[in-house]
Structure 1
Amino acid sequence: MNRKTMALPAIAALLASALAGCGGSDEPGGDSRAIVVGTTDSFELTGESPAPFDPALAYEAGSWNVLRNTFQTLMALPRSGGEPVPEAAYRCGFSDTQNESYRCKLRSGLKFANGHALTAADVKFSIERTLKIKNPNGPVSLLANIDAVETPGDRDVVFHLKSPDATFPHKLATPAAAIVDSQAYDGGRLRNGYDVDGSGPYILETKAKGGRLVSATFTRNPHYKGELEPKNDKVEMRFFPDADAMEKSLKGGGIDLMTRTMAPDQIARIEREGSEDIELVEMPGQEIRYLAFDTKDGTAGRKAVRQAIAQVVDRQALVRDVYERTAEPLYSIVPTSVGSHLNSFFNKYGEPDAAKARKILDAAGVGTPVPLTLTYTTDHYGSATAKEFAALKKQLNDSGLFRVTVKGEPWKTFRPAQSHQEYPVYGMGWFPDFPDADNFIAPFFGEDNFLGSPYRNSTVAKLIPQTRRQAQRTAAAEGFQRAQDIVAEDVPVLPLWQGKQYVAARDDVTGVEWALNSSSVLQLWELGRAAGS
């Protein structure tokens, strides 16, 4: 078995040649068999999540993977990353020098999968709907800077922003700006169930049992007109209770590809054992994991406690002992692969040191051992999460400064409780909406932050709009780096590690190198079968 480590822009030409050599592998319809993708993601209808695939609610990697394959957005990220390009739009751009007015013209003849015409009125409806619903667990923060949406014609949309924002094209490329059918969605409330009415490359058919999704089939949408070129006619997504069951199905031929979420020891084993039929592909990624704190909690709300935790936690040990080096230590909320990254936490705290942590607590008059409960989700970020929190507990308790207990909760319980700040310390992951430092600062520390965190810093609040004024993103580096230093000082969150991305696939599947982009988007349209397989 070959393991490939891919830097996507660098392999574009090589991959294009390889695919061309596969005969009909790039042509849709050449093989009627569905490509079957395995995942450990799970979806269940609850009071907090009555419609997991409604763009006004969906704001996590698993549901966004469904939305990106079934809805269109005005803009889209190219397969290898970089600046957004028009998708449902024919062209888009700022119409002023201040980055406050953004104008798009739609492609002609757009239709939803149900046959309804897609016009500028649907775009306006979709944006205003998400802003009106303003679900606290949804992606409304990405659109909050929109002041008004105008539709001067059936194909023309103009966005007027409250303040300049050079990152706005990136936000229009996220499912937060997915275009829904105004004839099929209520403008003031969420849908119920798993139904999707979009205009993306695939039509979605789902089956559920007891509110839990049991199957999802993506069939090529004959009405689709956009930037993407699907390499297949059908993809089936199968849901597994854990990574081991998913791997067993891959090796037995039940599925063709698996990705979210593979366990670290599983990745190491697949690479070590090797197989002529299965290929493991490693790709760069920007997923991060971190601890978050309720800064109003009686204990975790004390800055000295948070700083002492930052001084004790050993990231190197975590990625070595828990993640078998499938992740890298992270010393900032902004990952190393994103411009403006600064190792702020290492610069302030250096190597783990219990003696320094004790001095921090003593200076603040905090008695030890400090009692803390760390909460994590048992079924959302992979099986290694429990082991990770056991390791964090041991590190903190071994310092003699803390008395830590850990608690695991299923995602359907964890997410609403977390958003209501019911946990003093909890573990979260972040898959970026777009590859810019703004997306690792604003969603965490802005007024409508997705964590529901009470933490506020007036300097960071001023830096966010200032950095958005910079059309040349390198010019925003100083502001972003200052924000990172403030976060390291205040520790409202504690970054732990940055992940790599892995896909394991049977050797007759093509396009595996493009299955995930740097933002962890599952690009089903890139998958195909080798000719003659």
Structure 2
Amino acid sequence: MTKSNKALHGAIALAGISALALTACTGPSGGGGTSTGEAGGGAITYGTTDKVVTLDPAGSYDGGSFMVMNQIYPFLLNYKPGTADAAPDIAESASFTSSTEYTVKLKPGLKFANGNTLDSSDVVFSFKRVKAIDDPNGPASLLSNMEKIEATDANTVVFTLAAGNDQVFPGVLASNPGPIVDEQVFPADKIMDDDAIVAAKPFAGQYTIESYKKNELVSFKPNPDYQGLLGKAANGGATLKHYADPNNLKLDVQQGNIDVAGRILTATDVADLEKDSKVKVHKGPGGELRYMVFNFDTMPFGAKTPEADPAKSRAVRQAIAHLVDRDVIASQVFKNTYTPVYSYVPKEFEGAAEPLKSLYGDGNGKPSVDKAKKVLADAGVTSVVDLKLQYTDRYGTSAADEYALVKEQLEKSGLFTVDLKSTEWTTYTKERRADAYPVYQLGWFPDYSDADNYLTPFFIPGNFLGNHYENPAVTEIVKKQLVTTDKAERSDLLGQAQEAIAKDLSTLPLLQGAQVMVAGTDVKGIEKTLDASFKTRLGVMSK
């Protein structure tokens, strides 16, 4: 099957409007842009407790999988290290050519590591595939505004958007649905097995994968044919080592067995490592949220339960919001390495508000048993509520203490009995989408640096939570802010959305965390990846 026969026809007449134009930096040889350093230095070993769900971009929406994808797949747009502004990666240019059309021109001569040509047909295939597969654990919801995508020639792609002036679309192209895959390798209608992906070498990112043992070891080799924004890797290769126990991760970075420890070290471990002269603790902008999710079908009084009652179900959610004590969780479990959060959008982002503080508890961030009792009584809930609560190892061993404390806080009120259980992450991701957990833990690491990334993926129809929450008024506000160009007006809409969501309580944010990496004192470049793009880049690290 040749590429020349696959390009789509029917060129679009483009209006000469440029609301946003992005042009690639080109090096002296016409290749990639900003070099991260001289390739061929020592190899880097990076450790993490994160798990990979799949290497297939259509099938995952988690940090562990996306971390690997960022090393091996190219993006149309990406982030120059140290910045949070999307710029062309394998694109030569990218711009709005009308309010509803976004045109991308690819650099010439692109290819995958297997020798296959990378052109506009692969780009069209990649984005259509994410939407068509619409995997329950995938990122299709981020493409909700993409009405269609066409290749007008071998190097040009036009995205047509349902709503014009989309303020975050460039960021979406640099996020989870953005990796460009080889259409001669990936099936159009199903998720591809990791080992089959590795064997086919459909990589055109900064690295290729040399060897792969899922959730144990990944060996990366610099890709000499990469022409993207990140330039040549600053090291001669990298190894990703997965850990089941953060204590072992801590010991290995402390003893120099690995160069860098990423997610997730416990708060106690980070505090200990800050006192160790053999390593350095690096911190970057916060964006992580730890939160609870309510399944609107299966939670107490949920729509699919025998005692279904929307008012009582809402009262249960609000009672929980009245009872949780974030300050105690932050100090006792996380030694204040995480901070209480009362917003759906972290404070670092434009449009952040704190409706959860004023609406629940004592109005100043502390719990209120009296208000919890009242909201339940007013809804007609007269008996103790039995609550099934699930958490996972995905968010560190501290999650056990975190949710034990949540259980204690709820039960101490006399209003709840809590059945608390834990499930391993790979099983957890499947079971939560199968409505197995009435109330459960999740964490969030942003895909792109904008407040919308804390709203659209969660609270509009087709969201990745799949928790059966839908509020047309919220949907309208969230979609309106996406296309509002006036900053003040958009900020107001973001506040309105958060206020409405806080009353419904589809989720309950608890804590906000910073990015943390611990590295040997001889390791350079960590500060170039701990930025507001929230992407881990092995290619900036060297020693």
Alignment TM-score, normalising by the size of structure 2 = 0.87
Question: Which residue does 2:318 correspond to in 1?
Answer: 307
**CA shift at 1:300, angstroms?**
5.7
Query: Could you tell me which residue of structure 1 aligns to residue 343 of structure 2?
Result: 332
Equivalent residue for 1:427, pick from 441, 458, 470: 441
Whether the aligned pair in 1 keeps the contact of 2:89 and 2:229 (CA below 8 Å) is: yes
Aligned partner letter, 1:329: P
Is structure 2 residue 459 aligned with structure 1 residue 440?
Answer: no
Q: How does 1:380-391 map to 2 (within 5 A)?
A: 380-391=394-405
* 1:251-298 deviations in Å (ceiling 9; x for gaps): 222101101111111011112x321x2111121220101111012236
Write the distance in 1 (CA, Å) between the matches of 2:61 and 2:205.
18
Would you say 1:182 and 2:193 are equivalent positions? no
Match of 1:226 in 2: 228
- Taking a change above 3 Å as real, the CA distance of residues 118 and 474 of structure 1, as seen in their structure-2 partners, is farther
Q: SS of 2:419's equivalent?
A: strand
Deviation at 1:501, TM superposition (A): 1.5
| Alpha carbons of structure 1 residues 137 and 179: separation in structure 2 relative to 1, 3 Å | same
Task: Write out aligned runs for 1:13-92 (5 A).
Answer: 26-29=37-40, 31=41, 33-43=42-52, 52-92=54-94
2:242 maps to what in 1? 239
CA separation in 2, counterparts of 1:401 and 1:154? 63
Residue in structure 2 matching 1:507, options 521, 528, 531: 521
Q: Distance in 1 between matches of 2:95 and 2:72?
A: 24
Task: Provide the C-alpha distance between the structure 1 equivalents of 2:517 and 2:487, rounded to a whole number of angstroms.
Answer: 31
Q: C-alpha deviations, 1:320-357, integer Å up to 9, x for none?
A: 11111111111011111111000010021223110111
Structure 2 residue 360 is matched with structure 1 residue 360: no
Residue 160 of structure 1 corresponds to which residue in structure 2? Answer: 160
| Contact kept in structure 2, 1:293 and 1:493, CA below 8 Å | yes
Post-superposition offset of 1:214: 2.4
Change in CA separation of 1:132 and 1:25 when aligned onto 2, cut-off 3 Å:
closer
* Aligned equivalents of 2:485, 2:299: Cα separation in 1: 42
CA contact (8 A) 1:39 1:258 kept: yes
Query: How far 1:25 sits from its partner (Å)?
Result: 9.7
In structure 1, distance between residues paired with 2:448 and 2:407: 33
Q: What is the 5 A alignment of 1:200-349?
A: 200-208=205-213, 212-229=214-231, 230-271=233-274, 273-275=275-277, 277-297=278-298, 299=300, 301=302, 302-349=313-360
CA contact (8 A) 2:297 2:467 kept: no
CA distance, structure 2, for counterparts of residue 189 and residue 330 of structure 1: 38
Aligned residue in 2 for 1:521: 535
User: What does residue 491 of structure 2 align with?
Assistant: 477
- Post-superposition CA distance 1:118-151 (Å, at most 9, x none): 1111101111111111111101111232222111
| Range 387-396 or range 420-429, more displaced | 420-429
In structure 2, the residue corresponding to 1:122 is in which secondary structure?
helix
Deviation at 1:77, TM superposition (A): 2.1
Q: Which runs of at least 4 in structure 1 moved beyond 6 Å after TM superposition? A: none
In the aligned structure 2, how far is the partner of 1:495 from the partner of 1:286?
12
In 2, the alpha carbon distance for the partners of 1:300 and 1:432 equals 32
**Deviation string for 1:224-259 (max 9, x for gaps)?**
001113211201111112111111111222101101
Deviation, 1:92, is 0.5
Secondary structure of the 2:394 match is: coil
* Residues 1:226 and 1:344: Cα distance change in structure 2 (over 3 Å): same
How large is the Cα RMSD of the aligned pairs? 1.6
Q: Cα 1:281–1:252, aligned 2, differ >3 Å: closer, same or farther?
A: same
- Give the deviation of 1:435 after TM superposition: 1.5
Q: Aligned in 2, Cα 1:519/1:84: closer, same or farther, shift over 3 Å? A: closer
Post-superposition offset of 1:474: 4.2
| Aligned partner (choices 164, 184, 199) of residue 204 of structure 2 | 199
Q: How much has 1:519 moved relative to structure 2?
A: 4.6
Q: Distance in 2 between matches of 1:234 and 1:175?
A: 24
Whole-Å separation in 1 of the counterparts to 2:158 and 2:50: 37
Instruction: Give the drift of 1:492.
Output: 1.3
> How big is each residue's C-alpha offset from its partner over 1:99-135, in whole Å with a ceiling of 9 and x where there is no partner?
x110011112211122222111110111111111111
Aligned-pair identity (%): 36
Gap change, CA 1:200 and 1:92, over 3 Å in 2: same
Q: Is the 8 A contact 1:306 1:491 kept in 2?
A: yes
Q: Say which SS state the counterpart of residue 413 (structure 1) adopts.
A: helix
Which residue is 2:5 aligned to? none
Moved more, 368-377 or 307-316: 368-377
Is the contact between residue 25 and residue 510 of structure 1 (CA under 8 Å) also seen in structure 2?
no
Where does residue 11 of structure 1 map in the other structure? none
1:73/1:175 contact within 8 Å kept = no
Question: Structure 1 residue 82: deviation in Å?
Answer: 2.9
Deviations 1:482-521 (A, max 9, x none): 1111111111111101111111101111001123333532
- The count of residues paired between Structure 1 and Structure 2 equals 489
- Give the unaligned 5+ runs of structure 1: 1-23, 44-48
Tell me, yes or no, if structure 1 residue 407 matches structure 2 residue 407: no
CA contact (8 A) 1:431 1:519 kept: no
Q: Name structure 2 gaps, 5 residues minimum.
A: 1-34, 303-312
Alpha-carbon distance, 1:463 to partner: 1.0
Q: Contact 2:218–2:240 at 8 Å: present in 1 too?
A: yes
In structure 2, distance between residues paired with 1:190 and 1:25: 33
The residue number in structure 1 matching 2:17 is none
Q: Call closer, same or farther: CA 1:101–1:358 in 2, change over 3 Å.
A: same
Contact in 1 for aligned 2:340/2:511 (Cα 8 Å): yes
Q: Distance in 2 between matches of 1:251 and 1:428?
A: 29
The letter of the residue matching 2:184 is Q
